[in-house]
Amino acid sequence: MAKMWAGVTSGQTSKLADDFNSSLHFDWRMYRQDIQGSMAHAAMLADCDIITHMESQQIIAGLQSILEDLDSGKLTFDRPCEDIHMFVEEILTERIGEPGKKLHTARSRNDQVALDLRMYLRSEAGEIRQLTKAVIKALAGQAEAGQGYIVPGYTHLQRAQPILFGHHLLAYAMMLLRDDARIRDAMVRMNFSPIGSCALAGTTYPTDRRSEAAALGFDGICLNSIDGVSDRDFCLELMSVFSIEMMHLSRLAEELILWSSLEFRFVRIDDAFTTGSSIMPQKKNSDMAELVRGKTGRVYGDLMALLTALKGLPLAYNKDMQEDKEAIFDAVDTVKMCLQIMAPMLETMKPLPENMKKAAQQGFINATDLADYLTRKGVPFRTAYKLAGSIVADCMDKGLVLENYPLEEYLKHSDRFDGDVYDAVNLENCVSRRISEGGTGPASVASQLSYVKEQLKK
């Protein structure tokens, strides 16, 4: 069919090419931004005497009616249009006639699409920040409730040292706070308007890019028009941050899966976020957590897809860049879904402190404290470490733990032992003695918790 852009070409494209070329089936999602951008553009054109105020008002009213009809569903996207920009312009011209044809003065789809995408992502990134905060809040809530629960801390997935459950959860809160800060930083760099860059070189019309940018809530304009239409860093930067955030969520999801297994039994995930098996009646599977872990790969894939699409592209706009949208939309959708499910799953998760404690009592996770005890008594740490090691080995042989290893046995290893050794290997003491800032001691965990809560209020 003949195209709006029929000029030197006949505009007669094959149906196959039309379908291949069209982005409307995915870029329709930017219709609000597209219309909002066009309204600001029409207003600027009139303010700069490029079109009349009458024409501008007609355009804005026409765009408003399109917006309302799309919002209400009266108007749908089932037209053979090349993209959302053509779609809106075509309907506008149908509705208001000649003035509609003036809207595209002093702009191009190249700057228009870059504008729409920045505005769309500005709003999505804002939502993702809110959703991130909801997950942090859920983590802080569980950390607060579980402040006193002792659980083994792991390295190499081997029981290592006793920690507070709240301490472990707050580690994730810290990571997500940084993710939130990274999104905020990316948004600062993204909030510059490309509109008015036109096809690539700017325009001969006396436009006012800055007032148009300000009307659309931007902090300024892209200073180089070629950069304005070619830059997709803002997509890559957000996708990088989303990838990091998904990596964090996947680690947390993995721990939920482990912790809720029969092997650990540290937490119970609410039935609302688990599934059963079709043949094994006893099964309770952590599908939601597994999907969060699994969907992390998609987001990495989206980032790689766009990085690869942009690699080696000559300036300025190339149609390859239309591939940006499906990648970033998928990344946005995926991160949002994962954050949306993680918050209530964490909120409703039931910690099982008895089991945590039982696990902490096995595995000699107080062996470091035994060595530290001897060190306090004047034994050099390396010697103390060796002594503690042989005591642990002896306990294993005898089926004992450090807490009930008899004093006369301790004395066979070193004459520095005394009755106070039991104090030193007591798990509660092991935790409360870790007074270093950021450590697992209750005071430190409490101050981490208030830091996180403070950040959430900002």
Q: Which of 187, 170, 322, 327 is nearest to 243 (CA)?
A: 327
Complex with ligand ARG: residue 167 or 325, whichever CB lies closer: 325
Q: Among residues 10, 14, 72, 156, which one is catalytic?
A: 156
Least separation in angstroms between CB 228 and ligand ARG: 13
* Minimum distance of ligand ARG from residue 116's CB (angstroms): 9
The least distance separating ligand ARG from the CB of residue 26, rounded to whole angstroms, comes to: 9
156 catalytic? Reply is yes
Q: Judge contact between 327 and 302, C-beta under 8 A.
A: yes
**Six-digit token pair at 348?**
């409703």
Q: Are 246 and 334 in contact (CB under 8 A)?
A: yes
- Pairing outcome for strands 220-221 and 192-193: parallel
CB of 27 to ligand ARG, least distance (A): 6
> Least separation, in Å, of the C-beta of 313 and ligand ARG?
12
What secondary structure letter does DSSP report for 319?
G
Q: Quick one: 319 or 457, whose CB is closer to ligand ARG?
A: 319
Residues binding ligand ARG (CB under 6 A):
23, 27, 83, 109-110, 113, 317, 319, 321-322, 325
Minimal distance in Å, beta carbon 360 to ligand ARG? 55
- Degrees, nearest 5: CA angle 53-57-61: 175
Out of 123, 261, 277, 390, pick the active-site residue.
277
The span from the CA of 88 to the CA of 66, in Å, is: 8
Q: How far is Cα 202 from Cα 34, in angstroms, rounded to an integer?
A: 20
Say how far apart CA 445 and CA 318 lie, in whole Å. 52
CB of 320 to ligand ARG, least distance (A): 9
Give the residue with the Cβ less far from ligand ARG, 83 or 212.
Answer: 83
Which is closer to ligand ARG, CB of 162 or CB of 194? Answer: 194
User: Which residue, 407, 380, 402, is CA-closest to 390?
Assistant: 402
Contact at 8 Å (CB) between 154 and 365?
no
Contacts of 419 (CB under 8 A, 6+ apart): 407
Q: Which is nearer to ligand ARG, 175 or 235 (CB)?
A: 235
Tell me the CB-side half-sphere exposure of residue 327, using CA atoms within 13 A.
26
Identify whether 23 is a catalytic site residue. no
232 vs 227: CA distance, rounded Å: 9
3-state DSSP assignment of residue 367:
helix
Distance of alpha carbon 440 from alpha carbon 446, whole angstroms: 10
Q: Compute the least distance from the CB of residue 321 to ligand ARG, in Å.
A: 5
Closest listed residue to residue 71, CA positions, set 39, 40, 97, 35: 35
176 or 235, CB closer to ligand ARG? 235
Sign of the CA dihedral running 146, 149, 150, 156? negative
The residue among 14 and 155 lying less far from ligand ARG, judged by its C-beta, is: 14
Q: How far is 332 from 299, CA to CA, in rounded Å?
A: 9
Q: Which is nearer to ligand ARG, 70 or 452 (CB)?
A: 70
**Phi then psi for 142, rounded to 5 degrees?**
-70, -35
DSSP states along 394-451:
HHHHHT--TTTS-HHHHHHH-TT--TTHHHHH-HHHHHHT--STTSSSHHHHHHHHHH
Question: Catalytic residue numbers?
Answer: 156, 277
